[in-house]
Each structure stands twice: as C-alpha cells, then as structure tokens.
Amino acid sequence: MTNNDKDKTVTTEETGGLSRRSFLGAGALAGAGAAAVPMTAAMFASAAKAQAAEAGNNKAFIHPGDLDEYYGFWSGGHSGEVRILGIPSMRELMRIPVFNVDSATGWGLTNESKRIKGDSAHLLAGDSHHPHMSMQDGRYDGKYVFINDKANTRVARIRCDVMKTDKMLTVPNVQAIHGLRVQKVPYTKYVICNGEFEVPIVNDGKASLEDVSTYRSLFNVIDAETMEVAFQVMVDGNLDNTDADYDGKYFASTCYNSEMGMTLGEMIAAERDHVVVFSLERCEAAVKAGKFKTYNGNNVPVLDGTKGSDLTRYIPVPKSPHGMNTSPSGKYFVANGKLSPTVSVIAIDKLDDLFADKIKPRDAIVAEPELGLGPLHTAFDNKGNAYTTLFLDSQIAKWNVEDAIAAYQGKKVNYIRQKLDVHYQPGHNHTSAGETRDADGKWLISLCKFSKDRFLPVGPLRPENDQLIDISGDEMKLVHDGPTYAEPHDCMIVHRSKMKPNKLWTRDDPIFAETVAMAKKDGVDLEYDNKVIREGKKVRVYMTSVAPNFGLTEFKVKLGDEVTVIVTNLDEVEDVTHGFCMTNHGVQMEIGPKATSSITFVANQPGVQWYYCNWFCHALHMEMRGRMLVEA
Amino acid sequence: MALCFFYSRGLSFGFESQDQGLSRSVIKCVYEWLAGMTKRFRGFITVLVLFWWVSFSASAQEWQVSPDQDLQMVLNRASSGDEVILSAGRYLGSFVIAQSMSLKGDAGAVIDAQGEGHALYITASEVTIDGIRIVNWGDDLTEQNAGIYADKKPENVIIQNTYLEGDGFGIWLQGGKDCQVINNQVVGNTALRSADRGNGIQLSNMKNSLVRGNEISKTRDGLYVIASKDNVLENNTMHDLRYGIHYMYSYSNKILNNYAYSTRAGYAMMNSRYLEIRGNVSENTEDYGFLLNYIIYSEIDSNIIKNVWTKPENKVPGRDGKALFVYNSGYNTISNNYVEHAEIGIHLTAGSEKVKVFGNSFIDNPIQVKYVSNRFQEWSQEGKGNYWSNYHGWDMDGDGHGDVPFEPNDGVDKLFWKYPEAKMLMDSPAVLLLRWVQGQFPVLKAPGVKDSFPLMKPNRPVAEKTLLGGL
C-alpha cells in the first residue's frame, strides 16, 4: 500500500484477538467513501466498478442433524471409487467402490462383486473420472450413475436405489475410456464415452503395431439398461471429453490429437484440433442397414465416422480443446480451449444445416470468447451465465453467453462478469443441477488439482482441494475448502428431491440373485437355514446374521477345502449392517440389512480360526463371532 | 527420352539460366531412362551421371526473375545454392521452395498470395529468404495459413528483412533446428477478431534457433513458442496484440531485451525450465506483465514492467493487472526488476517458494505484493532487499538499506485483496488505526513476505528499448 505504512513494529508475541479479528472483517468496511488514493483515473474507475457486484448469501453451514439440499457424486480418480457428498456442507456421506478393491465392503473380494466385474474381476485397480446420472427429458431421474475407468477401459453403472455398482463392462476395440456422458433426451437410452488413446483398429501386435496410420480412437455408444456396447464410431484424431444435446439428436466430443502424434511435441503442433459431432439418427440407421464392420473377434458394430462420413461433422477449434459442456438451455455446446485462452461456442441449432452441408463447419461457431489462460471446463447457471475454470490463471471466469455471442458479432460488450481466484489449478467444475434443465444457479464446485498450502501439511502427498462457491448473487463467493483424497476429476450435483434410495435391501435384488439361486439348488432357505453343504473339497457354509449373532457359531472343514461363506443379514433395522471377517485369511465383507453376501477362500491354516462381525452392529458386537474348525 | 528433352526445352524458355536448366532436365530424363535398366548397369551409369551433375553445380547460379515470369517454375528449377532474385513487382500466388536456395527481393518485390494458402512454403533446409514483402496469405487457421511456412524439419533456414502483412500466421517454423528469423516485420489484420488471427512468429518444436530484431504487431500473439529449446529470442518488439510472447513447454531458452507494449499479457511463460529472462520490457498491458506459471530453475532479471491495469470497460471483480504473476514457480531468481504502476506489483502463489527475490523496485503499485500462502518468505539475499515506494523506514547508518524490515503483505494488505472495496479506505483513520493495532498485537499478522533489508533507492535497470512514457 502506498504512503500508509506507519511505524512498522515486528514482534512475535501471541495474544488473543477474536474481537479484533471480527473488527477487521467486512464490518470495518462499512461506509467506505472517497479517499486520497494514488491511482490514475482509469484505475480508480476500475476499482469503483469492481465493488459494484454483490455476492450471494447462500447458507453453506448445515447444522448438526440438518440435511443437505443436494447429493454430490464425486469420482475418486485413481482411487477407483465414487463418493457421495452432501452439498453444501461438503460432508462425505458414502464411498462406493467401483474399480478398486475395498476392504470394508469386500468389493472385489465377494462373489457378488466378482460376478458384476465379470471379465475384469482379476483387475484390482482403476481410474474413475466422470460420474453422470441417467436422465428423463433432460432432468436427473435418480436411477443410475455411470462412471468410466480410464485405466482399464471400462464403464460401470451404480444403481442409486442401493448406491452400489451393479454392472461393469470392458469396452472392446479401444483403449482408455475417458469422457463419458449420458443421452439427456428423451431419456438415457445410451451412455456415450470416448476411447482416448489411439491403438491399431486390429490390435494384435502384428503388422499394425508400429503403423500409426492404422491407429484409431472410437466413440462408444452403450445401452444404458443392458450395459452392452450398441455400436462404436471410428473417427479421425483422438477423443477427449463429450456431451449430449437436449434434443436427442447430437453428441459432441473434443479431440486434442488431430495430428495423431505419438509424442507430446507432435500432439500439440497443430493450430487447431476439432470437435466431432455425431448424428445419433444417422448412426442408428447405419447400424440397422448393416453398414458396419467388426474387429478383434467381437461382434460390436463399428461404424466409419472418419472425415467425409455422413455420420459425423468435424468443427475445427483452437488447439487442444478439453472439456465439452452443453448449456442447460440446450442451445450450445462449449468446447474449452486448454492451450488457447478461448472457449468455442457451437450453436446446436446450426447442426442440422451443418449435417445438410448448407453451412461450413466453422459457421456453427457463434462465439469464441477470450477468458484467460488454460480454460478446461465450463458450468452454467440458470441466468445465462457460464463459469469456466482457468487452469493456468487458477481462476474461475464468470461470463455471459449471449454477451459473448454479441461480442463475436462485433459489438462492444464486456462478456466477462467476474474472475475468482481458486486454490489451486482448477480442473472440472460443476454447478448445482447444471448439466440438466433444472440448473438453479446456487452452487458451484471447483475441483482444484492442488491444495499446496491450504491445509495442514501431511507429508509430500497432499489432498486435492474441492472448493464450494456461492453463485446465487451477482458475484461468486468462495465459502468452503474441501480436502479430498485422490483424485476427484469430475462431479455432478443432484437435488435431493430426485433421489429415493432404499433403507433396506429387497430379497429379490439382482445383485445377489445368483447366490440366492445357488442356495435354492442346495435346498437352503437363506432367511431361515444355517447349513453346511459339502461337495468334495468344496464346502458351502450358509448362515444368517441377527445382531449380535451369526446363525452358526461354529463349522468344521478340512485343511485345504475351498470354503464359501454365504451370510444373509436378517436385521430389518435401518443402518444395521453386518460384516463377516475370517481372521488371518484376508476375508471380509459387508452384509447390508436384508442382503445376502458370499465370499470364497481356501481354508489353508489348520486349527481354530475365529470369524467375527466387523461392521459395528450392537452392544454385544465384540461377542458376535464364531469358530471355523479346520481339521488337519 | 526424346519427348522428355523436348518438354524441358519448352519449360526452360525465357529463363536466364536456360542452358543449365536444360542440362538438368536432361539429367532428370536420363534418370528416368535408367529406371528401366538392370540394377548393376544402372549403378555404374548413376556414378557417371552424378559426376557430370556435380561438375555442373559447382558454382551457384543467380536467377533474376520478373513478375511476368512463372516464379514457381524458377523455384522448381533452381538448385542447391542458387540465388533467386525477384525484380520489383507483384508475384501472385503461393510458392513452394523445395530445395536449398536463397530467395531475395529487389526493392518493390512483393509476393501476394491472393488471400489463399501460404505465401511461401519452404519444404527444404538451407533456405534464405531475404528482403521480400509478402502479403495477403490465407486466413484459414485450421490449415495454418502463413506468410512463410516451414514444417518439414527446416534446418539453417534464414528469414530476414522481410515485411509480412496478412491474416494467418506470419512465420511458422516447425520441427527443425538452427534457423534464424532476423529483422522482419509482421503485421496482422485488425479487421479480424483477435482469436481469428494467426501469431506473428511461431516456433513449434524448434531447437537452437535465433529470433532477433523483429517487430510484430496486430497479430493474435507476437512470438508463440511451444516445445522448443535452446533458442534465443532477443530484441524483438511486440505490440498491439494479445500476448507479446506466448510461451509453453520450452526449456533452456534465452529471452533477452524484448519489448512488449499494448498487450493483454506482455510475456505469458508457462511450464518451462532453465530460462534466462533478462532485460525485457512490458508496458501498457491489461492482465500480466510477466505471467510465470510452472517456470522453475530460471532467472528473471532486470526487466521493466510498467503500467499494468485492466481497462475500465473490461474491469470486473477479480480481473486485476498483475506486473508479475508468479504461480507454482519455485527455485527461481527474481532480481533487479523494475515494477511500476501495476494494480498488483507481484502476485506470488501456489507454492512458489524457494524464490530469491532481491534488488527489485516496486513503485506505486496499489497492491505491492499479493502473497497467497500460509508460509513465511524472506525477500532479500545477502543483505540486499528490494525497493518499496511505500517503505517509510529510515537508513541511519547510510548503508543503503532501511534499518527496519518491511512487510508488504501484512494483515491489512490481505484485507484489501479479500475485500477490494476496502481500498477506498486506504489512508483513512480506520485503516491507520488497524495498522497500528496490528503492529501492537501481531495475532493479525498473516504469514507472508518480509524484506529485512529494504533498499532506500530504486534500482533502474538499463533497458535497451525506449519506454513509451519514459521511466
């Protein structure tokens, strides 16, 4: 500050100062008037204008016992999981293991989870990026959340009545599923996702291995109910992020490697890459007409959507675009520039003409506002404003879409409304219900890739920082820093009124239907019987659990037997989950109220092996245990 | 053979080096004829022919071309080391230089690409372009239309003394090394939106090249440098454009004595190591004098940054002119820079630590330092701090630095960037009282920057460029 530092005294003593702290708060500023400030007229005008906007007044503090207004679904990055947060409190409510192995729930260990993981049951890691909920007419329907696994080229589905993963699919012919969204309108018939890494279309390690001209990325269209690939579309360049329109007609994906470069320098050489737009109607017709090929020994139809195809159009946009976001008005696709300080606004109502070849690809661009350095993702409110993360500036730029369009047409308009520092380096952002027609302009989440000095240091590995921003007023206001473990890439926020999760499992749940069928074949009634079925070296141990007892307090097997323990939790009490843990065997699992879970292991240690309940259930939880007697 | 001969005669008509051109066409025909012969015999003949050819090429030829001739034909026929000189007049169209040569222009020689494609496309190495006016190349950024375009691993390409005015890129060099771009002038087209123009000079994946003494204006960015190392960028002037130097992922370059004015950012330097950024000037810019983002192991020394503020019509909360924005950039030396009249003198954040900051002068910046961190930093080296125009200490012992430390980033400063409206109160009794209170009760003192040896006099680096308004 200029000319206002009086006698600076440096002391180190600590005193209390709560009252002074509040004195230094906003209250001290009331009645700010003109003062002798050494500024130019221009700077003075700038500063004066900067104070005009007012911040909103959302309440971010949720008192103990009160409930949040929104559910937030967070991806867990390379932790492989999905998490549920309460918004705005940012309290973590639940973790849903998906591509990871989870010690607490036995996900990846139980027979039920292995069945759901299917051909990838042997994979113990994953990288989940983009959680997106199924929709009806452009609004969340609370039914499913879909999530990609970049690490192992998978897509999984979470059933929101039980908040568990119920389907998993390894997508063939591609490598590294990245961007993922859902069809919004008329309903989520399809999940769409991008194969990011370029591989030979016949990836057999033979002639094509180093022949880059055979490398391709495919756009993948998955049936949301059956979770099978309906068809794939071969494109030029690679594929990054994607989104769908609000008409049920078009999908759009960004491409950052139109060069098909194999090294960083090659990938960032071109001035422009592109957005590729897919016509759903034309793709479906092509599949129906049999205009596809199959590769690599599977029967997934692969359509040719490379340049010149009727199925796609390529819209050039500045270098290395990343995020793809549809405005909730349904009018625009926004491609975020990354290496260009601009975002490209594509008018969806021009796409019919583009596909009819009445206009040129760049004519579909109606604005290309310059927002700042490193724009990655854009979220929207319900007032026509957009919020773009600027990775390099480490800011969120709030801008008005229609003003940006006016500026593109040559009008003198300042389309930028505000810039807000975030900490640090924001990636994805998301507004409350902002990817749906229900966008309400209340909250914005900025998923920051680094926390640096924002929290107590915890060693070289730091948490990420998920920041909550109140956008209900004219001015964005940062209200909360949320440390998170590796590494939320994306999130989505749904109003609680859309969600109807179950309190208890129902006995006919398909997740354990196969286990129920096995019991039936063994003549076991899971809700009454506690029985041991022997079939040679295979032993099936059926037991119930009612706090504080397992239905069997002991069972006997022979050393080397393959033991399957099937536990059915008969507690009909909300929140009484049991666990089953066989000590010294690495065996444990969750059994939710009214659920059946099973796990198989080899009894490879002789003698007494205690099993116990490890989800706290009862005052006599410690006593809830039994013996496996292993005869040698 | 006979047909071939006749054809080449026809083509060579009208050129001064007719005889040589003719001979070379004959060689080409001989080669084609050889293609039909057995391998063994062909090898023998090839040696003979090569010998003949080399004896012909021993001395470089000069081709004087006039606008009524077919320039492309000359360029096709000239050979290694030849010099093609354009007489005054307009050469219409796009031209390809596919072999090493020198292309020079007499005064008044203009290549006019007529609004399409590249004006000059260099696909060879060892090419010199000198003293030509090149205008009106294409505006298709997707096709990377440029005045001079060289993307086939150009080596020893020299472009000098040209004047380039057009829509797309001025000069685009990609994937090569040992090139020189010297004393050219590049002018963009302001009728296009900023984002729809090309950059002045683009170095993409280039090594060991020199860009010196160029003047670039009205393009999108001035110098655009990406994935390029061991280059020298010096004495260039960039003005009336978006970023003077837009620079990413390029290690070990020297950026010396450049001058950027009337920009959104003078120098946007990102994701790079081992840079020497010395003696540059940034003046009249809206957002950043120097943006240093993930720049490490680098020296930022003796630069001048003056007048950085967002124009009133563009002003929104949170958009502030920052002379130095040091972000996630540690292990650097920031010394002897002169920072005057920016909304924020230096904004240092995101773990930009282990930075040596000394000898700088921060003069009349409403916010001298915006330091966002929870950790303490000492900004002096071996008893030498920085000059702060708002330092009100004294130097009783006359050793050139103040006797009491300076903390530019005390709690009141933090208050100001948290509540910008508080600036209105700057010299008000309330703030003076707060500062006094803070001094008495340091609980308010936020961790931040301390300069234990503040300089008593500003330290003005010698900039080679003359500032618009003087220092």
A191-219 tens-digit pLDDT: 999 999 999 999 999 999 999 999 999 99
Task: Locate the chain A residue with the closest alpha carbon to B146.
Answer: A271
Distance between alpha carbon B92 and the CA centroid of its chain, in Å? 29
**Is a pLDDT exceeding 80 seen at residue B462?**
no
Nearest chain A Cα to B388, which residue?
A2
- Residue B356 distance to chain A (closest CA, Å): 19
Of B351, B425, B432, which has the smallest distance from its Cβ to A29's Cβ?
B425
- Separation of alpha carbons A430 and A108, rounded Å: 30
pLDDT at B469: 57
Which segments of A174-329 are extended strands (E)? Answer: 175-182, 190-197, 199-200, 215-223, 229-235, 242-244, 250-255, 272-279, 302-304, 312-318, 324-326
Residue B470 is predicted with a pLDDT of 60
User: What confidence tier does A265 reach under pLDDT thresholds 50, 70, 90?
Assistant: confident
Beta strands in A266-311 (DSSP E): 272-279, 302-304
Nearest CA in chain B to A41: B312
Please give the pLDDT value at position A603: 98
Q: How far is C-alpha B301 from the chain's CA centre? A: 18
Q: Which of B177, B316, B349 to mutate to test the interface with A (most CBs of A within 10 A)?
A: B316
Which amino acid is residue A72, in one-letter code? G
Other CB atoms within a 10 A radius of the CB of residue A222 amount to: 26
Taking CB atoms and an 8 Å limit, are A416 and B314 in contact across chains?
yes
Is the ipTM value over 0.85, yes or no? no
Q: How confident is the model at residue B471 (pLDDT cuts 50, 70, 90)?
A: low
- DSSP reduced 3-state for B21: helix
Comparison of pLDDT for B149 and B13, the residue scoring more: B149
Q: What is the pLDDT of residue A552?
A: 97
Give every CB contact of residue A549 below 8 A, 6+ residues apart in sequence: A624
- Report yes or no: A533 and A542 within 8 Å, Cβ to Cβ: yes
Q: Using the 8-state DSSP alphabet, how is residue B384 labeled?
A: B
Backbone dihedral region for residue B123 (phi beyond 0: left; psi -120 to 50: alpha; all else: beta): alpha
Q: Is A288 exposed, middle or buried (0-12, 13-18, 19+ CB in 10 A)?
A: exposed
DSSP string, A435-492: TSTT--SSEEEEEES--TTSS---SSS--EEEEEEE-SSSB-EEEEEEEESS----EE
pLDDT digits (tens, 9 = 90+) for A107-133: 999 999 999 999 999 999 999 999 999
- Cross-chain residue pair B318–A36, CB shorter than 8 Å: no
The DSSP line for A16-62 is --HHHHHHTSGGGGTT---------HHHHHHHHHHTT--B-----PP
> How many angstroms separate the Cα of A548 from the Cα of each of A101, A575, A578, A579, A613?
27, 14, 9, 11, 9
Coil, helix or strand for B87?
Answer: coil
Up-side HSE of residue A345: CA atoms within 13 Å toward CB? 27
| Partners of B171 in beta bridges | B148, B201
Q: Which helix (H) or strand (E) element contains residue A95?
A: strand A91-96
A18 pLDDT more than 60: no
Whether residue A63 is annotated as binding a ligand: the answer is no
Provide the pLDDT for residue A438.
97
Q: Hey, which residues 423-442 in chain A have their CB within 8 Å of chain B? A: 423-425
Backbone angles phi, psi at A308, to 5 degrees: 100, -15
Better-predicted residue by pLDDT, B365 or A55: B365
Mean pLDDT score, B352-371:
86
Nearest Cα to A420, choosing from A376, A367, A380, A479?
A: A479
**Of the ranges A239-243, A546-550, B361-365, B461-465, the best mean pLDDT one:** A239-243
**ω into A424 cis (within 30 of 0):** yes
Total-model pTM:
0.85
Pairing label, strands B449-450, A385-390: unpaired
- Nearest-angstrom CA–CA distance, B461 and B270: 24
> Is residue A186 reached through a cis peptide bond, with omega within 30 degrees of 0 on the bond before it?
yes
CB contact A46 to B (< 8 Å): yes
Cα A319 vs. chain centroid, distance in angstroms? 25
Task: Specify whether the CB–CB gap between A163 and A179 falls below 8 A.
Answer: no
pLDDT top residue among B288 and B32: B288
Residues of chain A contacting residue B440, judged by C-beta atoms under 8 Å apart: 9
Selection from A287, A267, A270 nearest residue A279 by Cα: A287
Q: Which residues contact B16 (CB under 8 A, 6 or more apart)?
A: B63, B64
pLDDT per position as a tens digit, B162-183: 999 999 999 999 999 999 999 9
For the cut 90, the answer to whether the pLDDT of residue A55 exceeds it is no
Which of A224-238, A314-328, B56-70 has the weakest average pLDDT? B56-70
**Is B362 part of the contact surface with chain A (CB cutoff 8 Å)?**
no
pLDDT at A583 over 60: yes
Question: Rounded to an integer, what distance in angstroms lies between the CA atom of residue B126 and that of residue B134?
Answer: 20
pLDDT per residue as tens digits for the range B296-316: 899 999 999 999 999 888 888
Band (pLDDT 50/70/90 cuts) for residue A12 is very low
- Pairing assessment for the beta strands A426-431 and A443-448 based on DSSP bridges: antiparallel
List pLDDT tens digits, range B243-258.
999 998 888 899 999 9
* Beta bridge mates, B291: B268, B325
pLDDT at A11 over 70: no
Domains and CATH numbers, chain B: 2-58 (no CATH), 62-233 (2.160.20.10)
In terms of CA atoms, which chain A residue is nearest residue B294? A392
Q: Which of B194, B309, B436 sits opposite A42 (nearest CB)?
A: B309
CA gap A4, A522 in Å, rounded: 86
What is d(CA A55, CA A52) in angstroms, rounded to the nearest whole number?
10
C-alpha B306/C-alpha B289 separation (Å) is 8
Whether A63 contacts chain B with CB within 8 A: no
Q: Is B433 on the interface with A (CB under 8 A)?
A: no
Q: Which helix (H) or strand (E) holds B432?
A: helix B429-440
- The three-state (H, E, C) secondary structure of A369-431, written as one string: CECCCCEEEEEECCCCEEEEEECCCCEEEEEEHHHHHHHHCCCCCCCEEEEEECCCCEEEEEE
Average pLDDT over residues B447-464: 80
A390: tokens are: 């600027």
Say whether B141 and A271 touch across the interface (CB within 8 A).
yes
8 Å CB contact between A97 and A506? no
Question: Rounded to an integer, what is the distance from CA A224 to the centroid of its chain?
Answer: 16
Kindly state the tokens that stand for A60.
């971010």
Q: Consult the annotation and say whether A132 binds a ligand.
A: no
| Single-letter code of the amino acid located at A147 | I
Residue of chain B nearest A10, judged by CA positions:
B439
Cα dihedral A545, A549, A550, A551 sign: negative
Count Cβ–Cβ pairs < 8 Å, chain A vs chain B. Answer: 239
| Banded pLDDT at B5 (limits 50, 70, 90) | very low
Identify which of A445, A415, A442, A441 has the alpha carbon closest to the alpha carbon of residue A430.
Answer: A445
Tell me: is residue A267 an annotated ligand-binding position: yes
| C-alpha span between B98 and B78 (Å, rounded) | 10
Do A53 and B443 lie within an 8 Å CB cutoff?
Answer: no
Nearest alpha carbon to residue B206 among B233, B182, B243 = B233
Residues in chain B: 471
Contact state of B309 with A40 under an 8 Å Cβ cutoff: yes
- Measured between alpha carbons, how far is B155 from A298 in angstroms, rounded to an integer? 48
pLDDT higher than 70, residue B280? yes
Query: What tens digit of pLDDT does each residue of A148-176 get?
Result: 999 999 999 999 999 999 999 999 999 99
- Under 8 Å CB-to-CB from A414, ≥6 apart: which residues? A403, B313, B314, B316
Strands (E), B123-204: 127-130, 133-135, 146-150, 158-160, 163-165, 169-174, 180-182, 185-187, 201-204
Q: Cα B285 from chain centroid?
A: 16
A613 annotated ligand-binding residue:
yes
- The answer to whether B90 and B113 have CB atoms below 8 angstroms apart is no
Indicate yes or no: CB of A1 within 8 angstroms of CB of B412. yes
> Is there a contact between A21 and B444 if contact means CB atoms under 8 Å apart?
yes
Q: Which two tokens stand for residue B370?
A: 């915006």
pLDDT digits (tens, 9 = 90+) for A382-409: 999 999 999 999 999 999 999 999 999 9
What is the per-residue pLDDT across B180-198, written as a single tens digit (0 to 9) for each?
Answer: 999 999 999 999 999 999 9
Q: Around Cβ A159, how many Cβ atoms within 10 Å? A: 18
Query: Which chain A residues touch B415 with a CB distance below 8 Å?
Result: 24, 28
For B11-31, write each residue's pLDDT tens digit: 333 344 444 444 455 445 445
Neighbours of B16 (CB within 10 A): 14
Average pLDDT, chain A: 91
Structure letter (DSSP) for residue B469: S
> Which chain B residues touch A268 with a CB distance below 8 Å?
204, 226-227, 249
pLDDT at residue B21 in the model: 44
Query: Is some CB atom of chain B closer than 8 A to the CB atom of A20?
Result: yes
3-class SS of residue B316: coil
Nearest CA in chain A to B268: A373
The one-character DSSP state at A98 is: S
Helices (H), B14-152: 18-34, 39-57, 71-77
Q: Residue type for A311, please?
A: L
CB contact under 8 A, B350 and A394: yes
Residues of A in contact with B423 (CB under 8 A): 37, 47
Place of tokens 């909920």: A133
- In order of A56, A494, B168, the CA distances from B139 in angstroms are 44, 45, 5
Higher local confidence (pLDDT), B219 or B273: B219
pLDDT at B431: 61
Kindly report the nearest CA distance between residue A259 and chain B, in angstroms: 12
Rounded mean pLDDT, A581-586: 97
Encoding tokens for residue B358? 């000394």
For A536, residues 6+ apart whose C-beta sits below 8 A from its C-beta are none
Does residue A178 have a known ligand-binding role? Answer: yes
